[in-house]
Amino acid sequence: MREGYKNLLTYSGVRIAGERFLGFTVVFGLVFALTIAYTMMVFMGLDINMALLIFLGISSTFELGIYMMLWLRVQSRTTFVENILPDALQIMSMNIRAGLTTERALILTARPEFGILERELKRAGKEILAGKDLKEAMGGISKRIKSRQLETTLKLIVDGIKSGGELASLLEQTASDIRNTAMMEKEVKANVLMYVIFIFFAVGLGAPLIFGISTHLVEVLSEQMGHFEGIDLPSYEDIKTRGVMPFGSFSGIQGITSVSIDPEFLVQFALMSMMTTSFFGGLIIGIIKDGEEKHGMKYIPILMVLSVVIFFVTRVIAATVFAL
């Protein structure tokens, strides 16, 4: 776990020791969750079991949130670098064709608009000028930026230099291939966009609407059925003996007033169901859109907030309409 956080911090550009960062987040998350749970237990009268569940839920959510923030930062850096990589390779190719050495071409390729790639290119060029091995200097870039595309490109450059090939043509062809691959990925994402939109609306709009209307109807029915309490309705046997069947059949009428429905439980069930659906819906969107579940984690909070808001708004609108 420490090694994973260390790599994550390196890829995200956060200059903090992995053990120190992990220790702080774990201790702070536990203390924060314990404070909230203890406060709710003292001032809201919660029992120890419910307080323990709240403590575990808050601490787990806090740790997961920190991890996802770092992971999303890493993905953002990766996407940025992969988008500008073809331009950087094209500039480097032009510098080499102009007669510059590889290390000088690397340094002059670094432009301010390249962001984190600018710093890494300058660092690699200076290390090569200082006598560091080419493969080690170029490999250091991929150790600080998590991108399989960048790692493959750097390995290709190192192999091209060592084999004595025409590096300028190799860089131009690599840049062209990266652009073509990016265009194909955009076409694939455009083709699956309809599925993403369908899942998003089904989870964030359809389910809350159905739950909102249904839970309100149950509350109305429960309230109406409560009016039958204390009313002495004739049994099915009495009606059959008298030979009067005004409504065709009264079988089961004795159980009408004994039905007990807890609307609060249904609301809690609806909320839990929407939270679960939003969680898995976000993961499915990530799989369809980007091919990996983690990419859908950023949609989960949006779906959860949207579904809860629409759920309560629907209940308010339904209550207003049925009251007219």
Q: Can you read off the two tokens belonging to residue 241?
A: 């003996």
Q: In this structure, are residues 119 and 107 in contact, taking their beta carbons and an 8 Å threshold?
A: no
pTM score: 0.68
Contact 105, 96 (CB under 8 A): yes
Give the type of residue at 5: Y
**What pLDDT is stored for residue 24 in this prediction?**
86
pLDDT for 229: 56
Banded model confidence at residue 237, pLDDT cuts 50, 70, 90: low
Q: What is the pLDDT of residues 19-57, one digit of tens each?
A: 788 888 888 989 998 998 888 888 887 778 888 888 888
pLDDT at 166: 75
Q: Tokens in use for 23?
A: 């220790």
pLDDT of 232 > 70? The answer is: no
Percent of the chain with pLDDT over 90: 9
Using CA atoms, how far residue 276 sits from 63, 281, 303, 310, in Å, is: 19, 8, 10, 16
Spell out the domains of the chain, with CATH numbers in brackets.
2-77 (no CATH), 80-182 (1.20.81), 192-225+257-323 (no CATH)
Structure confidence at residue 280 as a pLDDT band (50, 70, 90):
very high
In this prediction, residue 254 carries a pLDDT of: 47
Q: What is the mean pLDDT of residues 183-211?
A: 87
What local confidence, expressed as pLDDT, does residue 309 receive? 92
- pLDDT for residue 252 is more than 50: no
- The model's confidence at residue 16, banded by pLDDT at 50, 70 and 90, is confident
pLDDT confidence band for 306 (50 / 70 / 90): very high
Predicted local confidence at residue 162, as pLDDT: 75
Which of 181, 122, 172, 188 has the alpha carbon at shortest distance from 149? Answer: 181
